[in-house]
Amino acid sequence: MPPRWTHITINCSNLERSVDFYTSVCGLTIVRDRRLEGRHNVWLGPPTRSDEDPLFVLVIVQEEVKSRLDHFGFQCNSREEVDRIAELARQQDTLVEPPVDIGGVVGYFTMVRDPDGHLVEFTFGQPLRGL
């Protein structure tokens, strides 16, 4: 069996602010809160049943942000959900690109920034499988 993607780790300047962004805007939930152990990191993942592991986790560590990745991608269930997130980002002054449909393998998407400047893309109709 080939390796499977399990997590991405990013540094952040303010852990509380970043956890709030990824839970409220991206819909992730806290999988493991290492602050309870005296650490400065939180693991977030998509909502799952208590007896299941999440498909992936985002590990956020409070430490100096030295570099950025290109972007995170989240698939939404509808264009309306993309629009809702874009409006929330606009209200929070984090909207980078309003929703647009460019068709093809990209589909309908919007781009926002998290509190440390990382780009986060929300899409509808973007297939993950090849043709």
Instruction: Kindly report the CATH number assigned to the domain that includes residue 122.
Output: 3.30.720.110
Q: Are residues 41 and 85 in the same domain?
A: no
- pLDDT of 60 over the 80 cut: yes
- Stated pTM of the model: 0.73
CATH number, domain containing residue 12: 3.10.180.10
> What SS3 state is found at 122?
strand
Q: Are residues 57 and 76 in the same domain?
A: no
Q: Are residues 79 and 129 in the same domain?
A: yes
Q: Are residues 3 and 21 in the same domain?
A: yes
Q: Are residues 53 and 83 in the same domain?
A: no
As for how many domains the chain has, the answer is: 2
Q: Are residues 3 and 49 in the same domain?
A: yes
For residue 2, the enclosing domain spans: 1-63
Report the distance separating Cα 44 and Cα 58, nearest Å.
5
φ/ψ of residue 96, rounded to 5? -100, -45
Confidence tier at 128 by pLDDT (50, 70, 90): low
pLDDT of residue 130: 47
With b for 16 or more beta-carbon neighbours within 10 A and e for fewer, the 11-45 pattern comes to: bbeebeebbebbeebbebeebeeeeeeeeebbbbb
Nearest residue to 99 (alpha-carbon basis) of 81, 113, 73 = 81
Q: Are residues 106 and 55 in the same domain?
A: no
- pLDDT of 131 over the 60 cut: no
Dihedral sign, CA of 29, 51, 75, 69?
A: positive
pLDDT of residue 126: 75
- pLDDT of 34 over the 80 cut: yes
Q: Kindly state the average pLDDT of the residues 59-76.
A: 85
Q: Are residues 35 and 9 in the same domain?
A: yes
Q: Are residues 5 and 50 in the same domain?
A: yes
pLDDT of residue 6: 74
Confidence tier at 14 by pLDDT (50, 70, 90): very high
Q: Are residues 79 and 121 in the same domain?
A: yes
- pLDDT of 51 over the 90 cut: no
